[in-house]
Amino acid sequence: MGRESDVRALARARRAARKLLAQALYQLQVGGQPWQDIHHQYLTEPDAAGADAAFFKELLMRIADDRAALDERLARYSDIEPARLDPIEHGILWVALYELEHRPDVPYRVAISEAVELAKRFGATDGHKYVNAVLDRAAVELRPHEHGG
């Protein structure tokens, strides 16, 4: 039972980190502050208490440093040019795309499901449908062994 509760606790902590990431990446795009300042700001938020801080920092840092390359890859799966995306959905797509490419410990279905839930919560009315379609196309290419293509 201990292992199962540890897995659930990790899932909750990563879900909280993804929520903070959606907000932090929005701020990164709109406000233009360095990721380090945003990182410090979000770690002092009350919501950060339950978040996986190492996961949050890794993804924020890597995504901030690799935005142009992530957008190049995102353009392959999207019918909307990344620069024209809503900043919330753009950030959510960055998180899930990063997870699909660089975090094999995160099952592709989890990366997509978490992104869709964030888009439902923070994005435009039907933005979650778009996020799901883009990430499903990405998963076919990036996780063919899991997705089954």
**pLDDT on residue 45:** 82
**pLDDT on residue 7:** 86
What string of H, E and C letters represents the secondary structure of 41-104? HHHCCHHHHHCCHHHHHHHHHHHHHCHHHHHHHHHHHCCCCHHHCCHHHHHHHHHHHHHHHHCC
**pLDDT on residue 14:** 95
**pLDDT on residue 49:** 87
**pLDDT on residue 149:** 53
Rounded to an integer, what distance in angstroms lies between the CA atom of residue 91 and that of residue 116?
12
Q: Write out the chain's pLDDT in tens, 149 residues.
A: 477 888 899 999 999 999 999 999 999 999 989 999 999 999 888 878 899 999 999 999 999 999 999 999 999 999 999 999 999 999 999 999 999 999 999 999 999 999 999 999 998 889 999 999 999 999 999 998 886 65
**pLDDT on residue 148:** 64
Question: Which domains are delineated in the chain?
Answer: 2-147 (1.10.940.10)
Q: What is the DSSP letter of 33?
A: -
Amino acid at 24: A
